[in-house]
């Protein structure tokens, strides 16, 4: 899928709400530091909220690419800046409801959600949503 801006945002919110929430629900009990559902879902909500800003930034960066595309690898590697920013915000206690997170718990949760969402976006998403890839990632 080669995204347009609205498609990026819709895809991120949709996949976090569906796949991200499912993964979070499944792995929270086994995360290091025993963060609890309230904290992990607060982190997930922060990924979604901050994500809108990140997508605007990626959209801007994409304009420098001739093909106006966003290679799969970028979708995977952006885990680093996004994870880093979120961890800093967590340490500064700027994420409501997510206090007391350990780095290990955060890293595993964030990393697993990211990987699964990325995998779903790179293939299985096209199975139920036949038009999604031709509409720049828009779902509706």
Partner 1 sequence: MDTPAGDLTPALLNAALWTDGMLADAGIPVSDVPFVSVGGGIGSFVLVDYLRIAGVPADQIRVLSNIDHPWQTYEYLTRVSQIPRTQRIRSDSSSRPDNIWGFPSYALSEAWRDRSLRHLAQVLTEPIFSDYWTPRAGTVFAGLERESARIGYPSMLVKGAVRLVRRREGGGYFTILTPPAGSPTKRVAYRSTYVHLAVGYPGLRFLPDLQEFREKYRDHEHVVNAYEPHEHVYEFLKTRPGTVVVRGGGIVASRVLQRLMDDRAAFGLQTRIVHLFRTFVTGTHGSGVFMRRRGGHGWAYQGFNYPKSVWGGQLKAQMRKLDGEERAALYKRMGGTNTPKRGHWQRQMAAGRAAGWYEAMQGTVEKVEPAPHGQLASTVDGRVIRSHFVIDCTGLEADISEHRVLADLLEHSGAGRNPLGRLEVERHFEVKGTASGDGALYASGATTLGGYFPGVDTFLGLQVAAQEIADDLARRGWCARIGPVRSTSQWFRWLLGRPV
Q: Note the residues at the interface with partner 1 (CB under 8 A).
A: 1-4, 62-64, 66-69, 71-73, 76, 123-124, 126-131, 133-137
Q: How far is the CB of 89 from partner 1 (least distance, A)?
A: 29
* Cα–Cα distance measured from residue 44 to residue 34, given in angstroms and rounded to the nearest whole number: 16
* Cα–Cα distance measured from residue 34 to residue 39, given in angstroms and rounded to the nearest whole number: 10
- Choose between 37 and 74: whose C-beta lies nearer to partner 1: 74
- Choose between 44 and 62: whose C-beta lies nearer to partner 1: 62
Q: Which of 92, 91, 79, 19 is nearest to 51 (CA)?
A: 79
- Choose between 36 and 126: whose C-beta lies nearer to partner 1: 126
Count of beta carbons in the 10 Å neighbourhood of residue 62: 18
């Amino acid at each position: 899928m080669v995204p347009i801006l609205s498609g990026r945002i819709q895809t991120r919110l949709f996949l976090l709400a569906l796949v991200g929430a499912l993964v979070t629900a499944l792995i929270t009990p086994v995360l290091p530091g025993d963060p609890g559902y309230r904290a992990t879902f607060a982190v997930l909500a922060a990924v979604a909220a901050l994500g809108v800003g990140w997508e605007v930034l990626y959209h801007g960066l994409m304009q420098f690419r001739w093909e106006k595309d966003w290679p799969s690898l970028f979708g995977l590697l952006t885990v680093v800046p996004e994870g880093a920013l979120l961890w800093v915000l967590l340490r500064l206690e700027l994420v409501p409801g997510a206090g007391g997170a350990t780095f290990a718990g955060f890293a595993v949760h964030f990393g697993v959600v990211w990987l699964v969402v990325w995998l779903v976006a790179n293939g299985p998403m096209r199975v139920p949503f036949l038009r999604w890839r031709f509409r720049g990632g828009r779902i509706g």
